[in-house]
Amino acid sequence: MALLAAVLVWAVLRPRGLPEAVLAVPAAGLAIAVGAISPDHAWEEIQRLGPVVGFLAAVLVLAHFCDVEGLFTACGAWMARWAAGRPARLLTAVFALASVITAVLSLDATVVLLTPVVLATATRMGVQARPHLYACAHLSNTASLLLPVSNLTNLLAFTASGLSFTRFAALMALPWLVAIGAEYLVFRRFFDDELAAPLPSPDPARPPELPLFALVTVGCTLAGFVVASALGIAPAWAALAGALVLAVRALLRRRATPLTVVRSAAPAFLAFVLALGVVVRAVVDHGLADALHRVLPDGSGLLTLLAVAALAAVLANLINNLPAVLVLLPLTAGAGPGAVLAVLLGVNIGPNLTYAGSLATLLWRRIVQQHGHRVGVGEFTRLGLLAVPAALVPAVAALWLSLRVVGG
């Protein structure tokens, strides 16, 4: 527990901007060295996480080179033009784009690539940036419910659930829409004053053309996920193909170097995920699993799913959502896909309550501050206290309904 706490505190603070892996990797080695986890169990955990981490690397490369192609710049120009002088319309555009980008290109694309574009767009239009920046943070978590590729937690849950790619998406489509809709209503109420202020004039700039090559590549990659899942092939191969197409195109056009490609995969973060998995496995083996097993309810009814999701949300804010899902999935996998997806709702929506709830939120805060914009802990928490229950409860009800209509 002490090692896990140290790793998470380091990830939150990142002294001198050092990567999360700087402490996580030695902590995993120390856990093995002192016998908290055997080398065999550690290697087993690394093998379990390996395909998921490889998939994440491919998606990160894909998102990075979509940015190189100009996809996010074009999205920002479209938002400014569509808003037509009304901040509320800009918020609607941010919700729509952030939801789609998070679902298709993963939450990292929304946090790292879309957030600066949204800030620049709001500044250029002369509108308060706060509602739109907070929307990027919240939707990087909430809007990541739809597809297995949207979030690292989804990839882990997808593996544990035994569902196909299309069945996973079918079950999560209604909870995804309901959660986003609930968040939107909360934002409209919470930021009512900022959204009511008129803009001086619409932005007359002509938006750049959408990068068709990037859009077609992303579309083919998504189709590849469906086909690969139907054929029993790991979806990581489809993600790798899409990433290679855009990376090779950028290399041939001299818009990237081999080192750029490697950096876009965030190898330090990938090492952090593997090391964190080893540390969490050690904690699970030494009592946490037994403690949680005693409080986890059995069954597949609505109240049971609500209890599982609430427990996952609380645990995500206590120890971060990635360790939370690593702990809870082995305990709920035997109860069927309903319990697994309820955990996913908790660990994806719940982190909007605190900064420490997810790595995405921590990264979002750092990016916003680097661009000279301050966000307050108090305001973030007040917004989360309204948004999390408003989104989580109806999303769980929607999941319960989907399980009965679509079937687990």
Alpha carbon distance, N-terminus to C-terminus of the chain: 35
CA-nearest of 195, 201, 204 to 128 is: 195
Within a domain: residue 11?
no
CA-nearest of 230, 259, 235 to 247 is: 259
Sign of CA dihedral 35, 39, 45, 50: positive
pLDDT tens digits for range 290-344 = 788 788 887 778 999 999 999 999 999 888 888 889 889 888 888 889 999 999 9
Q: What is the mean predicted confidence (pLDDT) over 350-365? A: 85
Q: What is the mean predicted confidence (pLDDT) over 21-45? A: 93
Between residues 33 and 84, the one the model is more confident about: 33
Q: How far is CA 200 from each of CA 83, 119, 197, 304, 391, rounded to the nearest angstrom?
A: 12, 18, 10, 51, 34
Distance CA 146, CA 345 (A): 10
pLDDT of residue 207: 63
In Å, the largest CA–CA distance within the chain is: 65
Within a domain: residue 292?
yes
Which residues, at least 6 apart from 375, have a Cβ–Cβ distance to it below 8 Å?
130, 133, 134, 365, 368, 369
pLDDT of residue 388: 97
Within a domain: residue 232?
yes
Within a domain: residue 171?
yes
The mean pLDDT of the chain is: 87
pLDDT of residue 125: 80
pLDDT tens digits for range 142-198 = 999 999 888 889 988 998 898 988 999 999 999 999 999 999 999 999 999 888 866
Check whether 204 has a pLDDT greater than 70.
no
pLDDT of residue 206: 63
pLDDT of residue 23: 94
pLDDT of residue 78: 81
3-state secondary structure of 210: coil
pLDDT tens digits for range 77-109 = 888 788 777 888 899 999 999 999 999 888 878
User: Residue 83: which domain range?
Assistant: 30-405
pLDDT tens digits for range 246-304 = 999 999 999 999 999 999 888 988 898 899 889 988 888 887 777 887 888 877 789 99
Within a domain: residue 2?
no
Check whether 379 has a pLDDT greater than 80.
yes
Residue appearing with tokens 């109860």: 335
Q: What is the mean predicted confidence (pLDDT) over 6-22? A: 83
Within a domain: residue 9?
no
Within a domain: residue 12?
no
Q: What percent of the chain has pLDDT over 70?
A: 97
Check whether 202 has a pLDDT greater than 60.
no
The beta-strand segments (E) located in 236-371 are none
Are 314 and 356 contacting, i.e. CB atoms less than 8 angstroms apart?
no
pLDDT interval class at 133 (50, 70, 90): very high
Give the number of domains in the chain.
1
Within a domain: residue 214?
yes
Q: What is the pTM of this model?
A: 0.82
Q: What is the mean predicted confidence (pLDDT) over 29-42? A: 93
Q: What percent of the chain has pLDDT over 90?
A: 43
pLDDT of residue 100: 93
